[in-house]
Amino acid sequence: MNFKDYIRVIPDFPQPGIRFKDITTLLKDGAAYRAAIDEMKRLVAHHEIELIAGPEARGFVVGAPLSYALGVGFVPIRKSGKLPGETIEADYALEYGKDKLSMHKDAIRPGQKVLIADDLLATGGTIETSINLVRQLGGQIVGAAFLIELTYLEGRRKLDGIDVVSLIQYS
């Protein structure tokens, strides 16, 4: 399946100059969505994974089905002010803005092997900060998996030493 055919590119969203990769066109196609998750599962199959962590909101629509497929837990990384328990937080910047991410302090047991999952790797700001939060809680990052990678933004550079896989690349 050519997954790129299912992604819609919208120019100048959410701000001028950004070519937004819209995954809703893939998500609404049941066969394509399932095939994409199955393929991501195949790409990470060599890792020993105990938990998947993914950032709100699109990281949930990739990370949660992947965790179901692998039979492991899912931990949400949320924008600040959304999680009800005690949290740790960190500021971050992404391709078109900045925000604050948070995790529950008891989300991860020290030493747990965690795969980070998100829909898209752009500058890597979101994932770098997600990884820092997971590590702060004692989690061991075993890899990072994305549906889409914007290779021209070189987000991988921020993920030095981490096995990064992506299903679709834009260069």
Ligand X SMILES: O=P(O)(O)OC[C@H]1O[C@H](OP(=O)(O)OP(=O)(O)O)[C@H](O)[C@@H]1O
CB 100 within 8 A of CB 83: no
Binding flag, residue 118, ligand ADE (CB under 6 A): no
Site for ligand X in 12-41 (CB under 6 A): none
Tokens 């399946």 sit on residue: 1
The binder of ligand ADE chosen from 33, 54, 83, 95 (CB under 6 A)? 95
Q: Closest CB to ligand X among 78 and 142?
A: 78
Q: Is 95 a catalytic residue?
A: yes
The entry of ligand X, ligand ADE, none near residue 20 (CB within 5 to 8 angstroms by kind) is ligand ADE
**Crossing angle for the helix pair 58-70 and 30-44, to the nearest 10 degrees:** 70
Query: How far is 132 from 165, CA to CA, in rounded Å?
Result: 19
Q: Omega of the bond prior to 57 within 30 degrees of 0, cis? A: yes
Q: Is 8 a catalytic residue?
A: no
Site for ligand X in 88-147 (CB under 6 A): 94-95, 118-126
The two beta strands, 164-170 and 73-79, are unpaired
Binding flag, residue 26, ligand ADE (CB under 6 A): no
Extract the tokens encoding 28: 């609404």
Contacting positions for ligand X (CB under 6 A): 55-59, 94-95, 118-126, 155
